[in-house]
Amino acid sequence: MAATAGLGAGDLVEVFKALGNPARLQIMQWLKDPDMHFGAYEPIADRQSVGVCVTHIQAKSGLAQSTVSSYMTTLERAGLVTPTRVGKWTHYRRDEGRLAELARAIGDDL
């Protein structure tokens, strides 16, 4: 596998596993435009710079808080989201740089 984007086969497998779950894929799609998808929830912090609160992801998805936390940890481990603590709440936003790197790796290597 080419090293063009700095992503190895193990990195790609981790990403594909994370996105292979329909709920995690849906969360990533929602996080692409957080103002549109989470506009019904009063933001705790700026969605564009800090991200979306786990509580809001949980409310929108209808999943248990523990499930959402587990899913977000999986997405974080795959390098797809970045967490930020704001008080007692954890917010997540997409890592657009990593996603662009991933898109290049897929285009170059697959």
Residue 66, Cβ density class (10 Å: 0-12 exposed, 13-18 middle, ≥19 buried): exposed
60 located within any domain = yes
1 located within any domain = no
- What's the mean pLDDT in 79-104? 95
CATH number of the CATH domain containing 65? 1.10.10.10
Q: How far apart are CA 27 and CA 33, in angstroms?
A: 10
Tell me how many domains the chain contains.
Answer: 1
Domain that holds residue 30: 9-109
Can you give the pLDDT at residue 40?
A: 92
Q: How far apart are CA 62 and CA 95, in angstroms?
A: 24
**Most confident option among 6-10, 98-102, 104-108:** 98-102
70 located within any domain = yes
| Percent residues over pLDDT 70 in the chain | 95
**Most confident option among 1-5, 21-25, 106-110:** 21-25
